[in-house]
Amino acid sequence: MTVERDEVLTADPAERAGAAALLEIRDLRIRFTRGGRRVHAVNGLSYRLDAGQMLAIIGESGSGKSVSARALLGLLPSSAEVSGSARFEGAELIGMPEREIRRRRGRDIAMVFQDPARSLNPTMRIGAQITEAIRAHSGIGRKEAGERAVELLKLVRLPAAERRFHEYPHQLSGGMRQRVVIAIALAGEPRLLIADEATTALDVTTQAQIMQLLVELQERLGMAVVMISHDLGLAASYAQHVVVMYAGRAVEYASAGRLFGHVRMPYTRALLGAVPLLEREPHAPLPVISGQPPDPAAIPKGCAFRPRCASATGRCEQAPPFSEHEPGHWWACWHPAEDPPGGSGGGGGGGEDGATR
């Protein structure tokens, strides 16, 4: 079965003029064949990230955000068909030979995953897992690597780093484990860190601490961060730019401040509306986005959000182009939302409120 893909292709954020970007993704498409079904996980994703910046990729589960990030490191199963372009400091990552991309893993781009309980090897000591990462990229000796590992554990503020070095993951709390995973990611001194739902499995207090740590490391090490999340509030508080993904494509892109003040895409607005807020009346039903995200094996033609969208019209059967409608603000919608009267409080009650968490 083939889902016809939309031929609309316009200038995208990756094409913005200016200095060379650290990461430029253009029309990234990823398909899997699973049990005879063609699954379209990513359907033309483009974004750009400058050195030292933090970009948030927001979307529901299954919107293709994690898959698109793993593709950058060549970590997808062999059944994945990847096309399009992803340039890191000018070097094309898509289709790069395995040997070459392996040398870049951890050294150029590192990754932190969602569940720290599962992303560490339960049978290896913390220290061994970090020194392995250090020694994968430099020829330094075991002892020196060990010292560097303890330094990294101190850098991620793991209490009693020297002792933890000799411990196993199960002896640590969730937040401590995530610090260890971040230390592993920092081992190769990467210029880009991808945090794939890195705080989702943690409780709210720990979540804030880990995000603080990421921001601090970003500034201290001059490292760029791609933060993948389904939490718009979190994105607003920490990232400079936000990409909203739906059904494997970008539907809205802007700076965080701009996006939350002037939301355009009805899907983004609905997402903002679904953020639970303390100001809401107690026991009021939580607003939800009705319907289901589309089955990635059968994405509707035209605008993929159409079946769930209140503003949808016949025109939406034609896919809207993803283009820069306002300076620095990109979206793909025929019926963008207006700014609410009275200025910047728009976006379904989200806006700046969402940014204060």
**Residues at the contact surface with another protein, assessed by CB under 8 A:** 70, 73, 75, 77, 102-107, 110-111, 113-115, 118-125, 132-133, 136-137, 163, 168, 170-171, 181, 184-185, 187-188
DSSP 32: E
Report in angstroms how near the CB of residue 103 gets to another protein at its nearest.
7
Looking at beta carbons only, is 118 or 280 nearer to another protein? 118
Residue 349 · residue 269 · CB < 8 Å: no
Q: Which residues contact 4 (CB under 8 A, 6 or more apart)?
A: 301
Looking at beta carbons only, is 148 or 301 nearer to another protein? 148
Looking at beta carbons only, is 168 or 334 nearer to another protein? 168
Looking at beta carbons only, is 86 or 181 nearer to another protein? 181
Report in angstroms how near the CB of residue 201 gets to another protein at its nearest.
11
**Residue 110, helix vs strand vs coil:** strand
Report in angstroms how near the CB of residue 181 gets to another protein at its nearest.
7
* CA 117/CA 113 separation, integer angstroms: 10
Looking at beta carbons only, is 184 or 250 nearer to another protein? 184
**Residue 67, helix vs strand vs coil:** helix
Task: Output phi, psi for 226, to 5 deg.
Answer: -105, 120
Q: Which residues contact 298 (CB under 8 A, 6 or more apart)?
A: 1, 3
Locus of tokens 């700014």: 339
Looking at beta carbons only, is 226 or 244 nearer to another protein? 226
Both tokens of 164, joined, read: 């933890």
Looking at beta carbons only, is 102 or 335 nearer to another protein? 102
Both tokens of 275, joined, read: 């953020």
Report in angstroms how near the CB of residue 89 gets to another protein at its nearest.
17
Report in angstroms how near the CB of residue 196 gets to another protein at its nearest.
10
Residue 71 · residue 86 · CB < 8 Å: yes
Report in angstroms how near the CB of residue 213 gets to another protein at its nearest.
18
Report in angstroms how near the CB of residue 72 gets to another protein at its nearest.
10
Looking at beta carbons only, is 185 or 226 nearer to another protein? 185
Report in angstroms how near the CB of residue 126 gets to another protein at its nearest.
11
Residue 350 · residue 275 · CB < 8 Å: yes
Residue 73's identity, in one-letter code, is L
Looking at beta carbons only, is 181 or 227 nearer to another protein? 181
* CA 355/CA 357 separation, integer angstroms: 6
Report in angstroms how near the CB of residue 29 gets to another protein at its nearest.
22
Q: Which residues contact 116 (CB under 8 A, 6 or more apart)?
A: 169, 174, 177, 178, 180, 181, 201, 202
* CA 346/CA 340 separation, integer angstroms: 5
Report in angstroms how near the CB of residue 113 gets to another protein at its nearest.
6
Looking at beta carbons only, is 106 or 354 nearer to another protein? 106
3-state helix, strand, coil in the chain (%, to 5): 30, 20, 45
CA nearest to 25, candidates 243, 236, 296? 243
Q: Which residues contact 347 (CB under 8 A, 6 or more apart)?
A: 260, 261, 262, 263, 268, 269, 272, 354
